[in-house]
Structure 1
């Protein structure tokens, strides 16, 4: 088409073109309004992490909807003006292909981030293990997840590079620590173990809550078992299960409070009975 023909088409089809533009603006406004209401409703539920996730998802969905609406409107306007959109799409496809090779990683990160947010795989403030690194989630964006470990070190993971995620319970893991002691030394061993647990906690940052001596039970005519309830920090669960029993046994032996012959210190998950 010549420039004169395009100009005549604009004058002739002007009202229809204006109507398409107005409809596109109206549809975009309605979509954004609906998404804002949805985000507000999600925030009102007061669920952990829903607020930040809702905001990010609304922004992303709004942007996608906006581009889709106006791209469709542009194609309709071209058709109204008598211009075939196919050459335009072909040119855009070639340019997009060239840019795409350089933006593959970015696209992969954004797509992965969108599904992380949509599925709620983890939220800000949760304790997780990502690609073998344990820490608290500082932020979750479309492109990157920020994690901080118990030493204060910050890690940045491109969402497309995340291959494994392990989410820990917020309240920590509760274990019962069983420590055998000679009946005559039960009280002394109990006080010594409390000090040893505090020292272990200071060294490893292990307990989400203070360890508690919940009682004793008879093991034999000459020995008892001290029962300690421990709430273990999710990120330090493995090191605690591995090191604490042996550490306590060695410390008690050095203090002249060796375990009764044939007994061992053990740790077991707390069992909850359903009523």
Structure 2
């Protein structure tokens, strides 16, 4: 009786283990199923065609936008805009347009491939927030530089004064502006630090010659001599906008009389014209026997 029960139990156990030996994992079942490969190939082919068509569409869209930017830049150059500003604006606009299209393109490609775009955007948003907090100065430089270019505050070659730095603008960028001082020093100024700009190259310039005379000097004779110089020299100085204006005596300081002459010149020529007239004034006053004060160095003590 026991032998019969043992045989019966062993038979039941064999029947229970038989399905487990024949059963295969789900992954192997999918690989061995031809329909799985057919569906996978159809999905891959469909997504590939979508990505190719999408790439062609965005490529044409980028070319079209680049052409429009080029046309706008050409119009800026035609309207007497500096080539440096027009090139910078064109480059900035093209970069912004390219990155905008690239972001949308990547988003759509990931959506076609079935990637979790929402999770990726959330993670990218946190990263962008951290990056933005650390790059506030850079963003401020770029924004300020863009408005400097658009508002035409100054151009390359202009004489400007920014804070304690004065000189000629050598380069205008989106992040920094380069100003070369009179001694040759090249100053790099972040655009966010440019708050007040004195542009000395817009319109005509006025310079003043300050002659120092003795208080006992005959002012009428001095005026006659200076007027004669103006009449003779003015026709030969094309950089003068109008004839020099004799302001006359203005002050007495340290025992000397200050006699001033105002010169209105073209932009950038004020120093050259000032030297020409000052040299002529001094020569004419000496020829007219008008005494001029001299600074002497006393070494007796």
User: Normalising by structure 2, what TM-score?
Assistant: 0.59
CA 1:70–1:6: 2 relative to 1, 3 Å: farther
Shift of 1:61: 0.6
CA contact (8 A) 1:113 1:159 kept: yes
Give the distance between the partners of 2:60 and 2:139, measured in 1 at CA. Answer: 29
Out of 93, 97, 103, the residue aligned to residue 65 of structure 1 is 97
- The question of whether the paired residues in 1 share the 8 Å contact of 2:244 and 2:264 is answered with no
State the SS of the aligned residue for 2:102.
helix
Q: Per-residue deviation at 1:136? A: 1.6
**In 2 relative to 1, CA 6–88 (structure 1 residues): closer, same or farther, beyond 3 Å?**
farther
Tell me the equivalent position of 2:200: 168
The whole-number CA distance in structure 1 between the counterparts of 2:110 and 2:121 is 11
Runs of at least 5 residues in structure 1 that lack an aligned partner in the other structure: 194-207, 218-224, 259-275
Does residue 102 in structure 1 map to residue 102 in structure 2?
no
Report the CA distance shift for 1:177/1:75 in structure 2 as closer, same or farther (over 3 A): same
Question: How far apart, CA to CA, are the structure 2 residues paired with 1:150 and 1:188?
Answer: 34
- Normalised to the residue count of structure 1, the TM-score between the two structures is 0.63
1:147 and 2:182 equivalent? no
Is residue 70 of structure 2 the alignment partner of residue 40 of structure 1?
Answer: no
Aligned length: 223
Does structure 1 residue 31 correspond to structure 2 residue 65?
Answer: yes
In structure 1, the residue corresponding to 2:135 is in which secondary structure?
helix
Q: With a CA cutoff of 8 Å and minimum separation of 6, indicate the structure with the bigger relative contact order.
A: 1
The answer on whether the counterparts of 2:201 and 2:267 sit within 8 Å (CA) in structure 1 is: no
**CA-atom RMSD, angstroms?**
4.4
Q: Once the 2 structures are TM-superposed, how far is the Cα of residue 103 of structure 1 from its aligned partner? A: 2.4
**Cα deviation digits, residues 106-157 of structure 1 (max 9, x gap):** 2221222122112222111112221242222111001100112333332111
Instruction: Specify the SS of the correspondent of 1:121.
Output: coil
Asked whether the 8 Å contact 2:177–2:188 carries over to 1, the reply is yes
In the alignment, which of 76, 99, 122 is matched to residue 108 of structure 2? Answer: 76
Distance 1:163 1:228, change over 3 A: closer
Aligned to 2:55: 21
Uncovered stretches (5+) of structure 2, i.e. residues with no partner:
1-36, 212-216, 231-237, 248-258, 294-301
Q: Out of 108, 126, 136, which is 2:158 matched to? A: 126
Which of 1 and 2 has greater Rg? Answer: 2
For residue 8 of structure 1, report the CA deviation from its aligned partner. Answer: 6.3
In the superposition, relative to structure 1, how do residues 232 and 20 fare at CA in structure 2: closer, same or farther (>3 Å)? Answer: closer
Q: What secondary structure, in the 3-state scheme, does the structure 1 residue paired with 2:161 have?
A: strand
1:66: how far off?
0.6
